[in-house]
Amino acid sequence: MVFKGFFATALFALGNLQPAMAGAPQPVPQAQAPAGRAESRTVAAVRVVQTLIDYTRWPQRPGPLELCTAGSAIFADRLGEIRLADGRPVRLHRLGPDFDKVGRCAVVYIGQLLPHAQDRLAAVLRGRSVLTIVEADPQCRGEAMFCLLTGPAGAGFTLDIDAVARSELRIDPRLLRLARGLP
């Protein structure tokens, strides 16, 4: 089941909520981009990815967060600029076509992949505690947990609740509620 979240509203709403615990992430107030500005759209997309990571908990807290990219991704180069709210560094890696180094990844950001490669990556990731975010799947059909949406007005996401439920990751319920469009 897929739910849409429009991030300008979502980040504003999260910003008005008190963190559940000390050291909880502090989201940016919005992820809007002025119309027609590719750089601002990129910044908004990276903010969405950062917030999705900040509001995810792994069974064991990874040290430096290993963020891996698969396929050709528009925003891949800028993901290394992410600064997590808890101060952990982010290390950016590119996965090769065989996905053999996926074991080191806490997050996999998926760009353009051929259907057979996307199926193979989904099979490799199944059962692992890996947050998956896809850049080019607006219908969110490829088994990723979050599907990034970008446009002239900013960035947002859709959520595949089934993919989240199959993982051992814990997504902050406030983010899940926003993906459902609830206040």
Instruction: Give the C-alpha separation, 98 to 114, whole Å.
Output: 13
Task: List the structure tokens of 139.
Answer: 């219908």
- Please give the backbone phi and psi of residue 99, each rounded to the nearest 5 degrees, phi first: 55, 25
* Entry pTM: 0.79
Percentages (nearest 5) of helix, strand, coil residues in the chain: 30, 25, 45
Helix count and strand count (H, E) for the chain: 5, 9
pLDDT 10s digits, 102-131: 999 999 999 999 989 999 999 999 888 999
**Domain segments of the chain as ranges:** 2-15+32-179
pLDDT 10s digits, 47-58: 999 999 999 999
Contacts of residue 94, Cβ cutoff 8 Å, sequence gap at least 6: 68, 69, 70, 76
Mean pLDDT of the region 25-52:
66
For 2-15+32-179, CATH gives: 3.40.50
Closest Cα to residue 98, out of 135, 127, 123, 129?
A: 123
Q: Is the dihedral of CA 83, 38, 15, 177 positive or negative?
A: negative
